[in-house]
Every structure is written in structure tokens, then in C-alpha cells.
């Protein structure tokens, strides 16, 4: 496994979580996009630890399916698949010109779920990399 790549995914996930925290009240669509991006980076870190090729796709369920059946995070990541649409849904208008919306409250609730996932993924990666959880 490429430890530097795992670390890089975790750094980027932290930055995207921070972006979501800062944007949630004023720009909730953008905050939701950053939540999707953070989950994707966490998932890619786990895939890297497990020596599973992630490919170029961005769908969270598709990426989660690459983890072995019964993997501790497989179903957990699939539970975030509803965020997959955020990568485009909140960044582009529909063909009819509609702009999707999400409330700041919904983003705040989702942020809590992603923060819990983040802590679990970091502990998992630290264990697999033979480090204490304060490192990475």
C-alpha cells in the first residue's frame, strides 16, 4: 500500500470537511458537495489500505462495492451513496434551469454523520498502518 497516498487522502478529507463546516450556514449546496468529496476521499483511503484499485468513478456505492463482502466499511460507505449526486446536483442547473437546494440544517445533520465516519476511518487506517490514532 502507498502510505503517502493514504495520508494524502486523509488530509484532503480533513480540508473538505472543514470547507463544509465553514460553508454550511451560508452556502449549503457547496457544503453538501464538500461532504460528498470528503466521504469519497475517506473511501479511497480505505481502498488504498486494502490494496483495492479505486478506478476513476466517483459514485460512493460503486466504490464501496470494490471492498470485499463483509468488510467493516462496505455497507457503511454505501449508506452515504445519496451524496453521490451532490458532485453534480448542487453545482449545475437542470436542463430546465432549476437549481437544487439543500437546507443548512440538513447539511449540519449530514456533517455529523460524516465526522463520525471520518473518526472511524482514521482509527482504522492508523491501526492498519501501525500508528497511534493521533498520527496521520
For residue 2, the 8-state DSSP code is -
What class, spelled out in words, does domain 3-128 have in CATH? mainly alpha
Q: Is the pLDDT of residue 24 over 50?
A: yes
Q: Is the pLDDT of residue 133 over 80?
A: no
User: What is the model's pTM?
Assistant: 0.92
Mean pLDDT across 102-107: 97
Handedness of CA 30, 32, 38, 40 (dihedral sign): negative
Cell numbers linked to 99: 437549481
Of 12-21, 54-63, 99-108, least confident by mean pLDDT is 54-63
pLDDT of residue 34: 97
Contact criterion met (CB below 8 Å) for 107 and 26: no
**pLDDT tens digit sequence for 44-57:** 999 999 999 998 88
Amino acid at each position: 500500500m502507498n502510505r503517502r497516498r493514504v495520508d494524502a487522502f486523509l488530509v484532503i478529507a480533513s480540508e473538505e470537511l472543514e470547507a463544509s463546516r465553514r460553508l454550511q450556514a451560508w452556502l449549503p449546496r457547496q457544503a453538501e458537495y464538500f461532504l460528498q468529496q470528503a466521504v469519497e476521499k475517506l473511501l479511497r483511503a480505505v481502498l488504498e489500505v486494502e490494496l483495492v484499485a479505486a478506478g476513476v468513478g466517483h459514485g460512493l456505492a460503486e466504490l464501496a462495492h470494490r471492498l470485499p463482502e463483509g468488510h467493516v466499511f462496505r455497507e457503511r460507505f454505501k449508506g452515504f451513496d445519496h451524496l453521490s449526486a451532490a458532485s453534480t446536483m448542487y453545482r449545475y442547473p437542470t436542463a430546465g434551469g432549476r437549481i437544487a437546494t439543500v437546507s443548512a440544517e440538513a447539511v449540519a445533520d449530514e456533517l455529523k454523520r460524516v465526522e463520525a465516519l471520518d473518526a472511524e476511518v482514521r482509527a482504522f487506517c492508523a491501526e492498519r498502518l501501525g500508528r497511534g490514532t493521533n498520527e496521520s
